[in-house]
Structures are given as C-alpha cells and as structure tokens.
A = this chain, B = another copy of it.
C-alpha cells in the first residue's frame, strides 16, 4: 500500500474546504460557500448539514437580502471544544485555555526558580489541572494539550535536550498522555511561536515566514510553503548556532562564533555588566535607554546590529516573505528594530531584500501558546470524529 486512493478522500477534502471557508469568512451563507469554493450548491448543503450534526458549526439567524430570499448565516461553533496550550519557559510557565477559534478564555502563570525536572513537572501538572477544571462544558471537551519547550524535541514528543533547563531525554508527550489521555503535542518553543504568528499574528498573509525567538539564546522557527519545516528529525532551525564569525569564541554547543554568542539577551546582559550595569535585566536597560542613557542605547543598538547580521543571512538563505522578531527582546523594539533594518538595508542583496517584511511579533508573550493552540486545533479538525471525549 503506498498512499492515495479512493473517493472518501474527495469528500473529506471538500468537507474540510467547506469548514475552512466558514472559518475564514464567517458569517457566511451556503450559497456564498458554493460560489467561493466552486462546489455545487447541493454538495455544500449536504456537507453543511453533516457539519451541523457534528456540532462543528452553527446557524446564526438570517443575513441581509441582496434582492431575494435572505440567507441563513453559518458560524464556526467555536465553543464545541477547547485546547490547553502552554509555553514552558526557563523560569515560568504560561498556560491558556483557548476555544476552537483561538480565543483565550482563561490564562494562568506560574513562576519558578528551581529548574529540577521533578519540580517543574509538578508545577506543570498543577497548572494543567487548574486550567482543566475551569474549561467550560462542551461537545468535544479538551481536544488537545500542547506544550512549547525551549529545547530540541523529536517527532515523538521527547525532549532530547533543553540546555537552559538542564534537561535531557524527557519523554514529555508520554508523561502527559499517561496523565491526561487526550492528544498531546510537544514542540520547540520557536516552532510554536512561528506557527502562532503565522496563524494568529503578524504573518497571516505570509506563507514563507521565519520567526526568530530572541531570548536567553536564539531559536528559529521556519514556516516554508505555509507549513512548519522541521527537517529530517525535527532539529531544524538551530540558527542560534550558525557561525557568523569563523574564528569567534567557542560556544558550549561545540561550534565557534555562533550567532547567539553575539545577539542574545544573555550576551546583552554580560556586556551591560562590563559596562557598569550591575545585576540588571533587559527591562531596566530599556528604561535606561528611554531615559536617554547613551550606554544603554548603544548596547541595545549593538544587539540589533548583530541580530541584523543573522537576519541578513536568513534573507539570503530562504528568500522569505516575512521575518518576525519575537520573544523577550521585543520589549526593546524601539532600539533594536531600526538597527536591524539598517544592517539589512546596508548588507542584504537587493533581490532578496526588496520583498521582505521585518516585523515584531504581534502576539508578544503569547506567540508560542497561540502556536500550540493552532497545532491542537488543526489536529482536532483533521479528525473531529476521533476526538477523545474527556470533559
């Protein structure tokens, strides 16, 4: 058996097409769906009635007449199920409950200092338990739990390495499934952020989008051809460890002159220390810069310049439509973005530079959780009938 066969496929595809049309254009009538999709009116009618039976969509009264019978408008039944979506950071966990449209209906944060696996898992379980108790009653219940983690994740949802947490070989997907018995998605934090910005953020119009997660280190999520690109084993996007200075200092990864040795929050704070800012953080530096302290301004602009060098490489490598700067450094937007732009303007090849947009993440601290929500929702809609009822 290779892959493609028969004609359930056609029905399944068309049903998905109808549902996506409703998602994208709601509220929308059957007639209008038929027109935009090119499907026959009868076909649309029958698929819509199935979707209504499955409680995935709702009728919502009649719309305005355009010179004839008034249309019955259709809406996504966004509260037919909910996701629990989590950004597991190095000193905090952000968890949200979203509906099937990606609206956040609940939110909780836990901060911690002990990064020990056992401890953090306890926090994670507690957070999920709390969120779960607050999820509204619904047809499909919790359709999935997604966790974005700052580390290397296999396609089986095992965290191979999370350097800033000091974790190795944690089968997080299995651990969570064992406990919650709903579909679990574990993904790298930058991949989640990339998808979040693509689906709900600044990249909704872009199919070729590179999301750079700039925080303690650098992670990069690649949206290529509209889909998350993960490489052979899921380890793509290690652009933080792209050499930008061939004889540069050793990185703990084994390579030399890695990008994140020049353009990360960690390096920023080290340099700040050398410049007399003792025991500071990026918030304080931004405040200082906003108050006109030239040292702070210079430090932030230097960070932006180094970011620009790596982003220029990204532009040359991928010819993307959009490059998004996300994660913690975006609070320094005012100082780093012009520096990045200046570097790109100066160094990048015209053909590649002309069409690219450079943006700050729109979802801010929610990029990753929203990406995880999007993964959960997408997974659910691929096979709603198989969803585990667990409410």
Q: Give A residues with C-beta under 8 Å from B.
A: 1-7, 9-10, 13-14, 17, 21, 36-39, 152, 160-161, 208, 224-225, 229-239, 241-247, 253-257, 262, 306, 309, 312-313, 316-321, 346-352, 355-356
Pick the residue among B7, B246, B253, B346 that contacts A262 (CB under 8 A): B246
Assembly CA distance A2 to B24 (angstroms) = 12
Assembly CA distance A229 to B231 (angstroms) = 13
**Known A2-B21, A236-B319, A348-B255: A313·B231 in contact at CB below 8 Å:** no
Q: Is the interface of A mostly helix, strand, loop or mixed?
A: loop
Q: What residues of B have a CB within 8 angstroms of the CB of A152 in the complex? A: 351
Q: Is the CB of A17 within 8 A of B36?
A: no
Q: Is the CB of A238 within 8 A of B352?
A: yes
How near does chain B come to A354, taking the closest CB pair, in angstroms?
9
7 other A-B residue contacts (CB within 8 Å) besides A2-B36, A245-B257 = A224-B229, A235-B349, A236-B318, A239-B317, A241-B349, A242-B316, A246-B309
- A-B pairs with beta carbons under 8 Å apart, 16 shown: A1-B36, A5-B39, A6-B10, A208-B231, A224-B224, A224-B229, A225-B225, A231-B318, A232-B320, A237-B319, A239-B317, A241-B349, A242-B316, A243-B309, A244-B245, A255-B312
Q: Report the copy number of this chain in the oligomer.
A: 2
How near does chain B come to A275, taking the closest CB pair, in angstroms?
20
How near does chain B come to A206, taking the closest CB pair, in angstroms?
8
Assembly CA distance A7 to B231 (angstroms) = 33
Q: What residues of B have a CB within 8 angstroms of the CB of A14 in the complex? A: 4-5
Q: Is the CB of B317 within 8 A of A236?
A: yes
Q: Is the CB of B161 within 8 A of A351?
A: yes
**Known A13-B4, A38-B1, A161-B351: A245·B242 in contact at CB below 8 Å:** no
Q: What residues of B have a CB within 8 angstroms of the CB of A243 in the complex? A: 244, 309, 312-313, 347
Assembly CA distance A253 to B312 (angstroms) = 12
Q: Is the CB of B319 within 8 A of A232?
A: yes
Q: Is the CB of B10 within 8 A of A235?
A: no
Q: Is the CB of A242 within 8 A of B319?
A: no
Pick the residue among B13, B17, B317 that contacts A242 (CB under 8 A): B317
Q: Is the CB of A7 within 8 A of B5?
A: no
